[in-house]
Amino acid sequence: MTAPKWFTDGFPHVWLPYSQMQTAPTPLAAKSTQGCTITLEDGHELVDGIASWWTACHGYNPPHVIEAMKHQLDVMPHVMFGGLNHEPALKLAKRLADLLPGDLNRVFFVDSGSVSVEVAMKMSIQYWINKGVKGRSKFVSFKDGYHGDTLGCMSIADPEEGMHHVFNEVLFEQFVVDVPRSPKQLEEFDAFLAKHKDEIAGVITEPLVQGAGGMKMFSPDVLKNMCETVQKHELLFIVDEIFTGFGRTGTMFAIDQAEIVPDIICLSKALTAGVCPLACAVAQDHIYEAFLSESFDDALQHGPTYMANPLACAAANASLDLFEQEPRLEQVKHIHQKLRNALTPLQSIKGVKDIRILGAIGVVQVWDIKDTNWLKKRFVEEGVWLRPFRDIIYLTPAFTISDDELDKLTGTIEKVLTQWSEL
């Protein structure tokens, strides 16, 4: 079928994410979504295995979330957050504070995950300035980490990876170290912090799984040891739960499995169930209190125009309702078991290097993916939406996915990977 007019007219005017526009395959024309299905303009249906970049945790168009947004749309789609507050934001802030452990009580709303990380970094730097401690402006982050695409976020990503290195010349210099998986690495991490702590504002990590860096996983014990080492040196510990938050790893937050309380946590992606953008950085009381004084200079210097957008906050509140009313974490457990059963045998396909499962995340890592476009094309032909990247093919489905849909996804991965191994 030929592309619709809106596509041929408009496509010459958009610039796609992380794409070499000269050679990138033409994107597909999406028409509508429902449940775990994406319908294309030509009527072709795709079972979505990745929930639109890990956001659509209740499937597409969740009725309760859509209803809440429709109501909010009539009442007040947006109002500035400077000088004015509103029910959706304050309700959401209280609910997040109640859900998060310890003193994680102060919510700063922004529009995207990257900006929530920027805010966490600014909070950390200014925290030390407000306390009168000089020179603590650098961050420690981890190899294979990813925290977003803005300049500050790029500076704490793994410099070896392919996404940001062209900007190396302008990026702030940070410390990027190994995830302390082994006792020896933990000792080295400890020694590193002891040596550099006077330069360090904070340590930032993705908990339990490093998403965009290739779905690299580590245990709750590793996270716990990391946190305890950071806190032993009285440095700030920032956890980026933008991917992992809201059930993805099997608990509401990944930090719950390590029973730790970071100083600041960043949330986004599934926060609004994938219907619209919203993110936040949530700080412990002691961070917030370091900004209280008679001087405006001590105030947190940040404030996005669309901060705490009421529509987005209404969506997030409705999404939290669904986590309370429906057995989401049970569904994650069920998906986990099914992924384990279906993906583990793929280890025997030639070229497969590793199979990793955590919560509702299933990863097939290969030795060398060669041509991701071939895989992407084959998956679409088979009626599934999967986006292999680097050396992995992964599943992060909606928690509401049916057994049949999940079987279709894992069965297609097996079929296509087998063909791929025989190329």
Ligand X SMILES: *Cc1c(COP(=O)(O)O)cnc(C)c1O
Output the CA–CA distances (angstroms, integers) from residue 216 to 210, 211, 293, in the order listed.
5, 7, 42
Cβ pair 281, 93 in contact under 8 A: no
| Per-state percent for the chain, helix, strand, coil, to nearest 5 | 40, 20, 40
State the DSSP code for 383.
T
Output the CA–CA distances (angstroms, integers) from residue 312 to 326, 329, 385, 420, in the order listed.
21, 23, 26, 41
For ligand X, the closer of residues 35 and 214 by Cβ is 214
Options 59, 113, 214, 247; binder of ligand X; rule CB under 6 A: 113
What are 33's two structure tokens?
């979504």
What are 95's two structure tokens?
């609910």
Options 49, 148, 202, 247; binder of ligand X; rule CB under 6 A: 148
Total interface residues for ligand X by CB under 6 A? 15
CB of 423 to ligand X, least distance (A): 31
∠ CA 114-141-336, nearest 5°, is: 75
- At 3, the amino acid letter reads A
Options 243, 253, 323, 385; binder of ligand X; rule CB under 6 A: 243
What are the residues facing 411 on neighbouring strands? none
Asked if residue 240 binds ligand X (CB under 6 A), the reply is: yes
Q: Whole-angstrom Cα distance, residue 35 to residue 279?
A: 23
Among 31-39, 140-148, 253-261, 385-393, the segment contacting ligand X (CB under 6 A)? 140-148
CB of 332 to ligand X, least distance (A): 18
State the DSSP code for 35.
B
For ligand X, the closer of residues 124 and 410 by Cβ is 124
For ligand X, the closer of residues 112 and 331 by Cβ is 112
CB of 158 to ligand X, least distance (A): 12
Known binder of ligand: residue 359? no
Asked if residue 146 binds ligand X (CB under 6 A), the reply is: yes
For ligand X, the closer of residues 113 and 397 by Cβ is 113
Known binder of ligand: residue 102? no
For ligand X, the closer of residues 290 and 308 by Cβ is 308
348 CA to centre of own chain: 30
Asked if residue 114 binds ligand X (CB under 6 A), the reply is: yes
Asked if residue 242 binds ligand X (CB under 6 A), the reply is: yes
Cβ pair 132, 138 in contact under 8 A: no
Options 206, 263, 391, 405; binder of ligand X; rule CB under 6 A: 206
Q: What's the residue count for the chain?
A: 423
Known binder of ligand: residue 298? no
Q: Whole-angstrom Cα distance, residue 109 to residue 92?
A: 10
Show which residues are catalytic.
18, 146, 240, 269
Asked if residue 211 binds ligand X (CB under 6 A), the reply is: yes
For ligand X, the closer of residues 35 and 359 by Cβ is 359
Known binder of ligand: residue 146? yes
Residue among 285, 212, 215, 209 nearest 253 (CA): 209
Asked if residue 112 binds ligand X (CB under 6 A), the reply is: yes
Among 71-79, 95-103, 107-115, 376-384, the segment contacting ligand X (CB under 6 A)? 107-115
Options 174, 268, 284, 309; binder of ligand X; rule CB under 6 A: 268
All residues at 6 or more sequence positions from 55 whose CB lies less than 8 Å from its CB, including other chains: 269, 270, 272, 273, 274
Q: Whole-angstrom Cα distance, residue 136 to residue 197?
A: 8
State the DSSP code for 389.
B
Among 162-170, 192-200, 236-244, 307-315, the segment contacting ligand X (CB under 6 A)? 236-244
- Going by the annotation, the residues of the binding site for pyridoxal 5'-phosphate are 113-114, 240, 304-305
Residues near ligand X, by CB under 6 A: 112-114, 117, 146-148, 206, 211-212, 240, 242-243, 268-269
